[in-house]
Amino acid sequence: MPAGPGPCPANGLRVTIATAHSSAGSLYYPLDFTNVSDVTCTMYGYPGVFFATGPNGTPMGGPAVRNSGAVRKLVTLAPGLTAHASLQVAVAQNYPPALCKPVTAHWLQVFPPASYAADYVAFTALTCAGKVQGGTTLGIYVVRSGATGP
C-alpha cells in the first residue's frame, strides 16, 4: 500500500489570521493555514499558539489551551488549499488588573500540528502577563478544512 501525504511542514504553509467574531467575553479568529508548497500534505489535531514578543521572539505567557470539544480529523491540503483552526482570545479586561497585569502583544507564534518549527503572525491584542484562571487568555480548536470559521 503506498504511503499517503506527510504532515505539512511550517515552511510549506502561509499562516494568516482573519476577522474576529465575538462571543461571551472572547474573540474568535480563524487562524488560516494555506499550503504554499507544490506537494499535498496533511494536518491533524491542534496547532500550538503563543503570544510572542516579536517575529522570532520569545513566547509571552502560556500556550493556548486546547478545546477538547471538537473531534480531530485528518485534513488533506493540496497545493493552494487552506485549513483553519479557531483561535479564542479572552478579553483581558475580564480579569482583575492586579492579577492580569495587562500587556499588549503584537505577535503570535504558531506551530502547525506535528511541527517543531514556528511561523510568526503580526497580531495585536491586550493580554495578561500575570496569572489568570486557566493559565492563559488563549484557546485553540482543532484544524478543520477550509478557510471558514471561526
Q: Report residue 17 CA to chain centroid gap.
A: 9
Give the separation between CA 26 and CA 94, rounded to whole angstroms.
9
Report the pLDDT value the prediction gives residue 56, as an integer from 0 to 100.
85
The structural domains of the chain, ordered by start, are 10-145 (2.60.40)
Mean pLDDT of the chain: 90
Dihedral sign of CA atoms 116, 121, 125, 129 in order: positive
Report the pLDDT value the prediction gives residue 57, as an integer from 0 to 100.
83
Report the pLDDT value the prediction gives residue 29, as an integer from 0 to 100.
93
pLDDT digits (tens, 9 = 90+) for 10-65: 999 999 998 888 887 899 999 999 999 999 999 999 999 999 988 988 888 789 99
User: Measuring CA to CA, which residue among 61, 4, 66, 10 is closest to residue 34?
Assistant: 10
Report the pLDDT value the prediction gives residue 46, as an integer from 0 to 100.
97
Cell 511541527, residue located: 115
150 has a pLDDT exceeding 70: no
Report the pLDDT value the prediction gives residue 20, as an integer from 0 to 100.
86
Dihedral sign of CA atoms 85, 91, 95, 99 in order: positive
Report the pLDDT value the prediction gives residue 16, as an integer from 0 to 100.
95
User: Residue 3 — very low, low, confident or very high, per pLDDT cuts 50/70/90?
Assistant: low
pLDDT digits (tens, 9 = 90+) for 79-136: 999 999 999 999 888 889 998 899 999 999 999 999 999 999 999 998 888 888 777 8
Q: Are 49 and 111 in contact (CB under 8 A)?
A: yes
- Name which of 34-38, 64-68, 141-145 the model is least confident about: 64-68
Report the pLDDT value the prediction gives residue 1, as an integer from 0 to 100.
41
